[in-house]
Chain A
Amino acid sequence: MNLAQLLDSLKGDESFRRHVTRWEVIPPEPGRYADFPANLDPRLADVLRARGIDRLYSHQAEAVRLVGEGASVVVPTPTASGKTLCYNLPVLDRVLREPQARALYLFPTKALAQDQMLEVHELVTDLGVDIRTFTFDGDTPETARRAIRSSGHIVVTNPDMLHQGILPHHTLWVKLFENLRYVVVDEVHQYRGVFGSHVANVLRRLRRIAAFYGADPQFICCSATIANPRELATRLVGREVESVPDNGAPRGEKHFIFYNPPVVNAELGIRQSVIKTTRRIAERFITGNVQMIVFARSRMRVELLLTYLEQAGRRVGIKSGEVRGYRGGYLPGERRAIEQGLRDGSVGTVVSTNALELGIDIGRLDVCIMAGYAGTVASTWQQAGRAGRRQNLSAVVMVASSNPTDQYVVQHPEFFFDRSPEHASLDPDNLVILMSHLKCAAFELPFDQDERFGDQRVTEILDYLADQRVLHRGEGRYHWMTDTYPAEEVSLRSAAPDNVVIIDQSRPGGRIIGEMDLFSAQEMLHDKAIYIHGAQQHHVDKLDWERREAHVQPVQVDHYTDAQRKSELKTLTADEERPLGCGTLSVGEVGLISKVTVFKKIKLGTHENIGSDRVHLPEMEMHTTACWWEIPDEVTAQLARAGFDPGEALAGLAHLLGRVAPVFVMADPADLHTKAMVRSPFTGNATLYLYDSCPGGVGFARRIFDQFEEISVAAADHATGCACRGGCPACVGAAVESGGTARDGARMLLQQLRQAAAGA
């Protein structure tokens, strides 16, 4: 069967269709083209023609034109629409004219960097000129580094390496910095939240060093489809960025199917396993003559699905080499072979983690099945972009898991299809992150008295650091004044500087299996906790808080542990407020004092409480940004009159917003916490807080403040539409925990908000 026939058979299958919440047919679109720019170096044009490219897509031509005029640009472009030419053309063109010119390429992962290196390398080989391209990452041998520093025209690296390996040693990279014309930043939509806020500061440092050597590079950014590519890129790179509109790549007809597996436990809101369902659907496609990619959200799921699909393939005569897995942990050579197999068709099916969501070149396939929502609209479109050759029919099936975000999206497909994509945010001025990078920057070059960092005035922070004896203030400058290497202490992937190291004691000499931030460690790594790592249960023998070490060993037990955190939230300052409904919505700074005091042991399967124990750990204090909605007394009184417990209603609403808001602000659910207070000492009224979980905040709460109405409407719809009775983890929290009236109480609160808004 070909794909059209397969889709017809699915359409006709009532048992399949029953669970489809949306079957969207995206019509084909012809390509839009433009000639090579007149001033493009003829050698480049010749090389492209030799590859069968005799014109550019409109967006490629526009990117080349804007860069040629000196602008920094961001190209929002779907997977595999020729985005690499958007940066390789201007860069190579410049190096051909000006052999001294240098460019730095930044990719969020090493694998992607390697892949892009190969691509630009091929172009350079075809050009037959001496343009040197190198990757520089943790794997680069010491012996090769000197040559790369002095002679690499294009250096391909990742932000972590730039942060720890290149910038603090900039004097070894004089050639690069003096002649730095372009910085290419791919996958900018990945640079949001904490990671994005860090990278924005790394780029501030990069621009500062470049300026020291007299260079002011242009930035060429690429992004998946998000609502605000220009805003995000501008904040990320710290200079005005033009957005290249109008994607000119052609596409064929695409069927995009949202599939919600049937409910198996209505109380707990549990649905049939996403793996089982994905397997069933993928097996239907594997029998057809199509190339398919299946995305799973963890390495373990990849292996599981791979095993099932190999078995299914064997039954219809498909050899096991034609069905492959792809994930981190595979050796580079193996990955390259799989990529090649996908391009030449010898691999028919690949099961992958999001490692293949990124721009690695595997050609285009016919079918994409996602075991679970990819977390954001942007990532989902990127994964979906893996299916669809130029003019051909393609199909994408998103199978939702029971996870609240998945459930929200699959039950509200209009969020995905009809609304503009999410806004990505980052906050380079998060004080914790900013201060970390000011230290790194001061290590790299002394600060002048009134120097700005990016667009920020930082004198006050520099003075603070001088008082802390980290810097020395003298003769109008601030000098690094400790014997440490600050970049080593700053991880771009976490907000707080210190972590708890998790050590598996069953291995000889103890083996480090992971790290965790202090806040989470108190909940998950306290003494006697059962900590699950890589699908393996571990018993925590001891959490050595002073040394920041958790000693664990693998065990097999019939329960898990659930720690209870008591927290107190203090409002410190309200930066801005506005009326909302008959209450007030504010954004500002809050302090949280919290303590894990006790944990429960919960039996797997039955969820019975089979015991509890005390935890002795110090109090944690954190300051962060919050958005809060103050609800006046008359509303809570109304609730009570209607027979709802206001406390339950508020708690339910907090749970609900905690699930829905991350979807809108492109956050991971763990990036946002909520707290409901029946009477907040600060406002004097019932108040609902949503706050950034990272110290200082990285802009999520601010974004929620701006989008609160939209989010609350979505939340109300979600609570109404949820298939559970009286509450489940996907909406207001399981009924057993949230109380029987939480869902209807929360809905009433939201209704009140909407009415007030309509009346205003």
Chain B
Amino acid sequence: MNYSIFIYETAEDFAKRSDPARSEAHFGGWMKYFEGLRAAGIMRGGSGLMPPDTATTVKLRSGQRLVEDGPYADTKEQLGGFFMIEVADLDAALDWAAKCPAAATGVLEIRPNLPPMKQD
């Protein structure tokens, strides 16, 4: 099955990205993790996201365009990236999620993907 894993990171983990003393170790951990996913042949895509303060949220209500700065979800941990994996079942997805560098400090959300869209 194909799962998406959304990585909700703490402010502290976001800060590591741009901290010269910690960024190398931080990104090194992620690279190693993704190498593991690729080596297992289960990686199906993914992206790191710029921090939540770069987010822009839009919606259309009664024909009016509404734009807000910042992320939609007002959560303690914030979305920092996502990736997709192809694994046998939810247990396998949870096993991989538990190895993710953000698991010990942040929150991982695991969601099965819909099959690719059909064009009639």
A in complex with B:
no
Using a CB–CB cutoff of 8 Å, the interface residues on chain B facing chain A are none
Using a CB–CB cutoff of 8 Å, the interface residues on chain A facing chain B are none
